[in-house]
Amino acid sequence: MTRDARDEKLRSRIGGIAQFYDRTGRMPSFSEIGELAGLRSKNAVSKLVLKLERLRVLGRDGKGRLIPGSIAFPVRMLGTVKAGFPSPAEEELADTLSLDELLIRNRDATFMLRVSGDSMTGAGILPGDMVLVDKGQTPRSGDIVVAEVDGEWTMKYLRRRGNSVTLLPANPRYKPIRPRNELRIGGVVTAVVRKYR
Amino acid sequence: MTRDARDEKLRSRIGGIAQFYDRTGRMPSFSEIGELAGLRSKNAVSKLVLKLERLRVLGRDGKGRLIPGSIAFPVRMLGTVKAGFPSPAEEELADTLSLDELLIRNRDATFMLRVSGDSMTGAGILPGDMVLVDKGQTPRSGDIVVAEVDGEWTMKYLRRRGNSVTLLPANPRYKPIRPRNELRIGGVVTAVVRKYR
DNA sequence: CTTGACAGTGAACAATCGTTCACCTTATAC
DNA sequence: GTATAAGGTGAACGATTGTTCACTGTCAAG
């Protein structure tokens, strides 16, 4: 068997395991890996797993049980748009990551809201976009926050000057808001997500 | 024990299991759930798991093995910004989802690129943003694509009129590109992701 | 031609798995 | 007050787990 064919075989096996994990959300057992890879012997699976551990595709936790490695991170990260698409050989070296891990720090305090209205268009937040809001973080000046002003909820830049607070839209057609009464801040916008199709 | 206290206990147990799954990427075994929940008897765990199955927090696959339910989807989805933050009671009813699942259709063909340059600012894609690019989808007119024009990679709107192809920036300071030679399209932009802090 | 290294089969093994049984305690409902 | 359900302990059990050992082909390098 040629080197390329062996590489391809290994790759398809990794793909099979990744698919299994994607589909079920749990790691396959050794026998199941055997079925996926077409191996009858658990020893063969053992050797395969060892190899995948070295490649960081899989890992082990403190108790020696199989945990996902790079297969848990679905997106391959490349460089910049200008760099374009590297060759397949380079692609393998690229880092992989999970969007959940990238964007969510505190899962219990994080919510997703759909944006309505165009008051933040200037900041690249369009109506229909989704924003992740963290209730736990303390809002700093310059943050985009979700706040309740005089009974209505909006999303605006927060500006603090001394002890005065202003809510600044990112659209010149709207005016800054200087809340008269209390200002309830629901959370800090930590990320924006837009889906095209 | 009051009803509220029992609810709170169950909630913290769900949280414990979710944390375990977050941390390790695998489902805990029954004994491990016991440790997490402070239960010495596996029978107690069995009953707890049954309850969590009914709540769709956990599930079973075809082989009867534990798979994650809603705990695999880290973000709670709420309504619109205008709706603001619902009361805690309503929060529980909200859907949960995973950003990976939401944004990635074809994981093998999807890459993430960092945006450099401001030629798509008008479409709400700012320099520094990250875009998900699907190499597998066939580009349609109106899509945002990553393409190589005359040796350089850019991101632009794709416009097809008959059999002429134009690349349209979303910034008036740049001009439309009508590729003279061949046009290599790397992929279709399926999502935009921006992280604030 | 020989010699390793690699990829795989098959079987034995203790450890751990999840299921199930009998039983106990404590609230809540009637 | 007395059922009754809910929440829990503890132990027994067969099934399945992952490790390990001895062994067999097969290819490529020396």
Which domains can be identified in chain B, with CATH numbers? 3-101 (1.10.10.10), 104-193 (2.10.109.10)
Q: Please state, in angstroms and rounded to a whole number, the distance separating the CA atoms of residues B108 and B104.
A: 10
Cα torsion angle, B18, B22, B27, B33, sign = negative
Nearest to B71 by CA among B46, B45, B97: B97
Candidates B25, B76, B125; nearest CB to A112: B76
Of these ranges, A187-191, B5-9, B98-102, B117-121, the one predicted with the greatest mean pLDDT is A187-191
- Which residues, other chains included, contact A181 with Cβ-Cβ below 8 Å and sequence gap of 6+? A150
Whether B156 is catalytic is yes
Does the CB of A41 fall within 7 Å of any strand C atom? yes
CB contact under 8 A, B75 and A27: no
Residue A37: nearest nucleotide (C-alpha to C1'): C8
The residue type at A15 = G
Q: What is the pLDDT of residues B105-142, one digit of tens each?
A: 888 888 899 998 888 999 999 999 999 999 889 999 99
What positions of A carry a catalytic annotation? 119, 156
A32 falls in which pLDDT band (50, 70, 90)? very high
Measure CA to C1' and name the residue nearest C21.
Answer: B43
Please report which confidence band the pLDDT of residue A29 belongs to, taking 50, 70 and 90 as the band edges.
very high
Range name among A70-84, A169-183, B155-169 with the lowest pLDDT average: A70-84
**3-state secondary structure labels for all residues of chain B:** CCHHHHHHHHHHHHHHHHHHHHHHCCCCCHHHHHHHHCCCCHHHHHHHHHHHHHCCCEEECCCCCEEECHHHCCEEEEEECCCCCCCHHHHHHCCEECHHHHHCCCHHHEEEEECCCCCCHHHCCCCCCEEEEECCCCCCCCCEEEEEECCEEEEEEEEEECCEEEEECCCCCCCCECCCCCEEEEEEEEEEEEECC
Query: Sorting pLDDT into bands at 50, 70 and 90, what band is B85?
Result: low
- Cβ separation of A99 and B99 shorter than 8 Å? yes
Res. A167: pLDDT tops 60: yes
